[in-house]
Amino acid sequence: MSSHRKARSSNHPLARRALGLGLFAAGIAGAATAVPAQATTGASHMAFASDHVFSHADRAHHTRTEDSFTIRQFGTVNAAAARNQANAVSAGCSADDHCRSVALSFQIVTFAGERTHLNAVNLSDAANKECTGCQTLAGAYQFVVSTPAPLTLDAGTRQRLADIHRRLDALTRCALPAAELKTRVDGLAGEVSAVLRDAVAHAPKAAAQPTVTLHRHLDGWPGR
């Protein structure tokens, strides 16, 4: 299990939109964490991961960009919960002196088990607060990999993912027009999905088929 993220997070309250499978317990947010746990009886295996990116631009800091790219490998579990969140805010700027705030979070979760109960939440929120003409974008991409037997991403797979992460860093910081930025980020998400499908193609065979599911949620400019 590994994690890499660029820190500057915050717990500012924001309106949230949820996408995923099931409902997630309220009040769980904040810094990236991944905690597998086993009950003392040894009968139950559970895992939890939460990743959150926050970007805030204002008159003092006209451009703010943050991104996160995490890999969570749970192994065999009976229950798992995964939360991925991106929030971006632009505040107090004007059309003549506008702000740009971008927050992007990519979360990869792998788990194994034939009857695993999964709660997955993937959400983003972008807000312009008295910020006419500001550019604000929040994007959350959650990749859920389910296999009958535990899957360990090999060195070649992790190298390909690391290359995509480097390009996500560069893309987050660039000054592309909004429509092109969204298209490029979606393109990177497609590459991640392809890498993960290649990985599960070499996973141990079983009656149940491995799956790779992408949850995608984008909010903000140029939509508002």
Quote the pLDDT of residue 44.
52
Quote the pLDDT of residue 131.
84
Q: Are 127 and 88 in contact (CB under 8 A)?
A: yes
CA 29 to CA 172: how far, in whole Å?
22
CA 122 to CA 105: how far, in whole Å?
10
CA 187 to CA 13: how far, in whole Å?
30
Quote the pLDDT of residue 94.
84
Within 13 A of 214's CA, how many CA atoms are on the CB side? 20
Q: Residue 85, class by beta-carbon neighbours within 10 Å (0-12 exposed, 13-18 middle, 19+ buried)?
A: buried
Q: Are 1 and 34 in contact (CB under 8 A)?
A: yes
Local mean pLDDT, 10-residue blocks, the chain (224 residues): 38 37 33 41 72 96 95 93 97 87 97 88 94 90 94 95 98 90 96 97 79 95 57
Quote the pLDDT of residue 141.
98
Quote the pLDDT of residue 132.
81
Quote the pLDDT of residue 202.
82
Q: Are 23 and 119 in contact (CB under 8 A)?
A: yes
Beta strands in the chain (DSSP E): 2-5, 19-21, 33-38, 45-57, 63-76, 79-91, 100-112, 117-129, 135-147, 211-220
Quote the pLDDT of residue 147.
92
Two structure tokens written together for 75: 């192994």
**Helix (H) or strand (E) run with residue 166 in it:** helix 155-173
Quote the pLDDT of residue 26.
32
Q: What are phi and psi of 66, to 5 degrees?
A: -140, 145
Two structure tokens written together for 183: 């298209």
